[in-house]
Chains A and B, each alone.
Chain A
């Protein structure tokens, strides 16, 4: 059994000052050592806040946070030690004035690592992010993508036990982003580091992570991948829609454009037999399909997978399975309200260049 990197119990955090309405409120969470966990959720879901808490930059207002079995907020020295083992790379990284070398060596310096070791560790870290030879360049003259890679190198040079990455490939072009993902995997394999990363990109989260934590409004939500759809949004000003497959339109309220990723909570989807009236008349956000999986859970609910032009996962109370004539291989109708569609990621049409 692998060691536990993080153990969170009843963790709650609210920003001080006037009530903003936002509070991170998490049910117990365990993150194993050497695990890659992706945090996925819309803007304002609490991904960055959770990363800041895991990096010991924000102190939870309630609950317990253990890092490798240690409670780290009890004294300043212990917090600093924990910060030195859990390094965060922020979404918009800040590079200190000076050279790339100065930046990557900063963490080594504050840890009191012998100066003779700096060039080797800095060089290796820069090699990982394909910035070999950038040591003497001024940090101020780097592009956004290069700055992001220097920030990654700066964290990797420290060989932390936990690497916390807030949208690590946000400013990096697609080809290099894949290589960075490979570097992250390689780092985990070589060092056994635990990685927690936030991403709007579901496919990236799936590629990289052992587990995905979906967040919405500061809470964990149990969305399935099967209810996650992406596409280019179109709008008539009042409503918007994407067509993940031609002719299959997912409609949601508001005016949205650009490439979006959305999810629909399985509990918000109604299901009925194809001839049944409960799901309502066919219309927007109504789909037909065949039940391809039906499994009972511990909470008196059944998980139903419906495969049609799109595949949905729906939770249904067990006692309603018979009443709604739901069984394996049956044709069914599913329907949800446009308001149930939650956009968890959007990208403008133009991608930033490296």
Chain B
């Protein structure tokens, strides 16, 4: 495997999974804030569905979106199948419940007095919610990183929706699957190592960034 191809696969992994983590976080964190801050009828059912969704196999999500995006599917006209966009969309659905669940737990653990104190000091509801998010920021970052790690390490969605197209949708995990299928186990192990190093690098960068801000 030439270096250019390897770098491109790393880039595809980072781009699709990073984007998926970003989009999923923008949806999941407000949802978790809503769930953690309010009691309503059906809340338990919502949490149960979310927990169940967390366990959904990647191939099942891949298959679902494959049907939706394939030429004969309801969204076939969009022409997204075997694109990086399709991979990102699939990964968003994969990690959305994970980030929601982790964020919900993180926000529930914030002392209830944090919001009340913010309100007593004259914060608007929006400002008080920001205070709660700030108090849970470390745990929320962990939730987002867990989502990112899940997205970058999955192979089912990337394979089914991306198609493992060379120089286009091939990422690290689909490259590992390909090398393994070819019997090039050494290449597969090296690629696995690269995946771990990339993930480690991102975790370290985020942790250092958090510490310097704190």
Contact = CB atoms under 8 A, between A and B. Distances in A.
Given A80-B122, A106-B121, A107-B122, A57 B131 contact: no
Nearest to A81: B122
Given A96-B131, A97-B135, A110-B127, A87 B122 contact: yes
B59 interface: no
B123 interface: yes
Given A97-B134, A97-B135, A110-B127, A90 B122 contact: no
B119 A57 contact: yes
A154 interface: yes
Given A96-B131, A96-B135, A97-B134, A110 B117 contact: no
A90 B117 CA distance: 8
B8 interface: no
A113 B121 CA distance: 13
B27 interface: no
Given A57-B119, A96-B131, A97-B135, A80 B124 contact: yes
Nearest to B130: A110
A245 B135 CA distance: 52
Given A76-B125, A80-B124, A110-B127, A94 B117 contact: yes
A55 B120 contact: yes
Contact of B122 (A93, A94, A98, A110): A110
Contacts of A111: 122
Contacts of B121: 87, 106-107, 110, 154-155, 158
B189 interface: no
B114 interface: yes
Contact count band on A: 20 to 34
Interface in B113-145: 113-114, 116-125, 127, 131, 134-135
B40 to A, nearest CB: 13
Interface string B29-44: 0000000000000000
A96 B116 CA distance: 11
Nearest to B111: A94
Nearest to B131: A96
Contacts of A100: none
B121 to A, nearest CB: 4
Contacts of B111: 94
Contacts of A107: 121-122
Interface string A88-115: 1110111011100000001100110000
A83 interface: yes
A12 interface: no
B116 A83 contact: no
A84 interface: yes
Contact of B120 (A87, A92, A97, A98): A87
Nearest to B120: A88
Contacts of A93: 113, 117
Interface string B82-118: 0000000000000000000000000000010110111
Nearest to B127: A110
Contact of A110 (B114, B123, B134): B123
Nearest to A154: B121
Contacts of A110: 118, 121-124, 127
Contact of A96 (B117, B122, B127, B214): B117
Given A96-B131, A97-B134, A97-B135, A90 B123 contact: no
A158 B119 CA distance: 14
Contacts of A90: 113, 116-117, 120
A96 B114 contact: yes
A98 B121 CA distance: 16
Contact of B113 (A80, A84, A94): A94
A76 B118 CA distance: 15
A83 B122 contact: yes
Contacts of B118: 106, 110
A143 to B, nearest CB: 18
Nearest to A82: B122
A29 B116 CA distance: 26
B119 to A, nearest CB: 6
B119 A92 contact: no
26 contacts: A57-B120, A80-B122, A80-B123, A80-B124, A83-B119, A83-B120, A83-B122, A87-B120, A87-B121, A87-B122, A88-B120, A89-B120, A90-B113, A90-B116, A93-B117, A96-B117, A96-B131, A96-B134, A96-B135, A97-B135, A106-B118, A107-B121, A110-B121, A111-B122, A154-B121, A158-B122
Given A57-B119, A110-B122, A110-B124, 13 more contacts: A57-B116, A80-B123, A83-B119, A87-B121, A88-B120, A94-B111, A94-B117, A96-B131, A98-B214, A106-B121, A107-B121, A110-B123, A155-B121
Interface of A: 55, 57, 76, 80, 83-84, 87-90, 92-94, 96-98, 106-107, 110-111, 154-155, 158
Rank and list the top 5 A-B pairs by shortest CB-CB distance, nearest first.
Answer: A84-B122, A94-B113, A107-B121, A88-B120, A94-B117
